[in-house]
Amino acid sequence: MPEPLRCTGSMVLQELRSSRAMIFAIEEINNSTELLPGIKLGYQIYDSCASVPMAVHVAFQLSSGLDPVFYTGNSCSQSGMVMAVIGDSGSTPSIGMSRIVGSFNIPQVSHYATCACLSDKQQYPTFFRTIPSDQFQADALAKLVKHFGWTWIGAVRSDSDYGNNGMASFLAAAHREGICVEYSESFFRTNPRSRIQRVADVIRRSTAMVVVAFTSPGDMRILLEELSLKPFPPRQWIGSESWITNPDMLRFSFCSGAIGFAIEQSVIPGLRDFLLDLSPSKVAASPVLAEFWEDAFNCSLGKSAATDKSICDGTEDIQMIESPYTDTSQLRITNMVYKAVYAIVHAIHNAVCQESNSTTQCDKFTKTEPREVLTQLKEVNFSQNGFDVSFDANGDPVAKYELVNWQKSESGSIELVTVGHYDASLPAGQEFSINRKLTWVEGGTQVPVSVCTDSCPPGTRKVLQKGKPICCYDCILCPEGEISNVTDSPDCFPCPKEFWPNAERDTCLPKPLEFLSFSEVLGIILVVFSVGGACLATITAAIFYRHRTSPIVRANNSELSFLLLLSLTLCFLCPLTFIGPPSEWSCMLRHTAFGITFVLCMSCVLGKTIVVLMAFKATLPGSNVMKWFGPPQQRMTVVFLTFIQVLICTIWLVLSPPFPMKNLTTYKERIILECALGSTIGFWAVLGYIGLLAVFCFVLAVLARKLPDNFNEAKLITFSMLIFCAVWITFIPAYVSSPGKFTVAVEIFAILASSFGLILCIFAPKCFIILFKPEKNTKKHLMNKTQSKDI
């Protein structure tokens, strides 16, 4: 036969207080006229010693019905019948008990077993509890960690049902919140010291500032004692309810600043007086109270004292000692026992009592089965001492917690301070309420940082580091043209077409508009040359008009010269339509005005060239060619050639005219305002016609270049046409390859260069003779020069 089970170790005074609180609640109910009037409740208390075998043994005793009478007295009708079980304090013992008592439909109400696994009604159909499930606490802890921005944490747990299931629930909730766990270690207080040392070393070497501990008080005490042996970096502790409110833990000062969730504090009227009401007879009658008394006063209640203890002489005053048993300032778990008793009594009351005519009648002789109590227990809903008591479909109460913080007092001791609340029944995002300033690790006032990688600022995106959790990443600058405007953005997104990122790549700004402006240096230079050229043409015309009767002016067809100067003036003014923001009218005007004025110019030059040739032919004996190309014919030639260009431009404007557009493709970072050609055929037809006239003029001028000197205008036209053709041949590749506003600048340069080439080559030599060599501006000089050439 195996040896009888025995409890080992020292007494846990909080458990003693809980058992006494149960007795207090039962006696309170027995003296009440509202619940179970005329019926007295009995009880039997077993010590499971936090041992699963002992808890299972007790469960078999309760289920067998062989226990002695619970309450002595003649009024007891059902001696020894178990209606319900309160306990156990631990999850693992409660699991073992529930599997046994559940087979007999005996309801079990635990005040401290929090394992989420006990909510499974398939396995534990008769289990209830007045303390919230660890599933709620795990969710609350994950939200707490997320609330303070901690994404890189360590985790330790008790290697028990409480620790393993609680941590599993927390890790799942943390994963949903995007929190990464650097390590997750388990241990038990009975493990070899080497195992405890290994867990402590992991905590010391880790990079996570925050450590979440889902442990029992006994396990946590062993770990903290091991950590205190060697210095280690400061850690922010996040504790489960089991140990964060345990007064014995407050002696570890290096855990100052720890935070966690606790069961709500309560006040049970009359309980403290009941706990202190220990007469010698009561103490002597209970082995448990006797052990407590002897340990508290270091004396012996026996007839002969032990060698190291004196005999208790009756002068001991329990009110003078400070003990967890007498401390009622933090009634948390004790209130859960109190509520459990009242929940069971309300269920029994509803099963055996009837309400009639404002009175309650209870039949104490009616045989009540535990199954009936179980059914009624599912429906209880009442309020006791300001706390609501009810159970959901899983046998769990509404989850409400206090957020507690370990803070140093003025005396230097650690105190447990309530700094907020958590109510799982509130809408998502409103569960937390923090109403007091928290103290953090080492007494700091700033929230500690615990991240694997610092947050990626706006303008960057997160790229996960290979082989590491999702919280470990690199911050990569957004690609060109894309931004991110939030912290820790997983992706960058492109700006709209007409927007471009700023230098930090966190905002999309409107792209700057680019066009050749009157206010920029290049625009000012081109305007100066344009206006200067027009003024030069006007001055030249004025000089020619002033000396219109002089031989050099009359000898070179003054009518065509004045018309040519007018067209050159218009050519010089054409570039002004190319400068400034494009509009619908300016786009149509710039190309058509340019095309028509240049054709007018070429027509005049062509007319002058033909006149030179005709004049030379007219000097030959018997020639009558000049009558076929007199002034009327010259005018008609200019008008006809210009009309063709006008017709081309009209067709272009009617069918597909130029129009303003935003060029978004040439440059990514800015918008080019330009004139689209509309019809490229129309544009190149205009240029091609100008080029055709220029080539024709050039050919005729080359043919006439060796005529007598008094007709030397042909040489000047040859040089001017050479410059003109060179400029426009060069213009084509430059125009095609130039980006943005420089396309317009190239076209303006071509217009100005060719115009200056014409006016300087054709008119500059004549103006020089008129102004500086007037002696050569005579008919005699011209005739003598001709004769000498003939000789």
pLDDT digits (tens, 9 = 90+) for 612-657: 677 665 555 555 555 555 677 777 888 888 899 899 999 998 998 8
What pLDDT, on a 0 to 100 scale, did the predictor assign at position 74?
40
Question: In degrees rounded to 5, what are phi and psi of residue 676?
Answer: -75, 145
pLDDT above 50: residue 70: no
Between 174 and 735, name the one with better pLDDT. Answer: 174
Name which of 147-151, 646-650, 763-767 the model is least confident about. 763-767
- Alpha-carbon torsion (104, 107, 113, 118), positive or negative: positive
pLDDT above 60: residue 417: yes
Alpha-carbon gap, residue 200 to 136, rounded angstroms = 28
Alpha-carbon gap, residue 781 to 10, rounded angstroms = 141
The residues near 742 (Cβ < 8 Å, ≥ 6 apart) are none
Cβ atoms of residues 662 and 673 within 8 Å? yes
Mean pLDDT estimate for the chain: 85
Query: Tokens at residue 785, please?
Result: 């020069």
What pLDDT, on a 0 to 100 scale, did the predictor assign at position 728?
79
Alpha-carbon gap, residue 436 to 735, rounded angstroms = 72
Alpha-carbon gap, residue 179 to 542, rounded angstroms = 87
pLDDT above 80: residue 701: no
Residue range 283-304, pLDDT digits in tens: 888 888 888 888 888 888 876 5
What pLDDT, on a 0 to 100 scale, did the predictor assign at position 329?
84
Query: Tokens at residue 514, please?
Result: 């680019």
What pLDDT, on a 0 to 100 scale, did the predictor assign at position 720?
79
Name which of 75-84, 148-157, 331-340 the model is least confident about. 75-84
Cβ atoms of residues 242 and 114 within 8 Å? yes
pLDDT band at 602 (very low <50, low <70, confident <90, very high): confident
Which among 124, 129, 89, 88 is positioned nearest to 105, based on CA atoms? 124
pLDDT above 60: residue 244: yes
At 187 the three-state DSSP class reads strand
What pLDDT, on a 0 to 100 scale, did the predictor assign at position 169?
92
Mean pLDDT throughout 418-429? Answer: 89
Name which of 263-267, 437-441, 499-503, 630-634 the model is least confident about. 630-634
pLDDT band at 402 (very low <50, low <70, confident <90, very high): very high
pLDDT above 90: residue 403: yes
pLDDT above 70: residue 791: no
Between 9 and 78, name the one with better pLDDT. Answer: 9
Name which of 73-82, 89-98, 198-207 the model is least confident about. 73-82
Question: In degrees rounded to 5, what are phi and psi of residue 540?
Answer: -60, -45
Residue range 547-599, pLDDT digits in tens: 878 877 776 667 788 888 888 899 889 889 888 888 888 888 888 888 898 88
pLDDT band at 14 (very low <50, low <70, confident <90, very high): confident
Indicate yes or no: pTM above 0.75.
no
What pLDDT, on a 0 to 100 scale, did the predictor assign at position 501?
93
DSSP E strand stretches across 324-424: 353-356, 359-362, 381-384, 387-390, 400-408, 414-423
At 457 the three-state DSSP class reads coil
Name which of 70-74, 330-334, 590-594, 646-650 the model is least confident about. 70-74
Mean pLDDT throughout 739-747? Answer: 82
What pLDDT, on a 0 to 100 scale, did the predictor assign at position 338?
95
What pLDDT, on a 0 to 100 scale, did the predictor assign at position 782?
59
**Cα dist. 258→139, 222, 584 in Å?**
18, 17, 72
pLDDT band at 54 (very low <50, low <70, confident <90, very high): confident
pLDDT above 80: residue 95: yes
pLDDT > 70 fraction of the chain, expressed in percent and rounded: 92
At 209 the three-state DSSP class reads coil
Burial of 130 (0-12, 13-18, 19+ CB in 10 A): buried
CA 28 to chain centre: 57
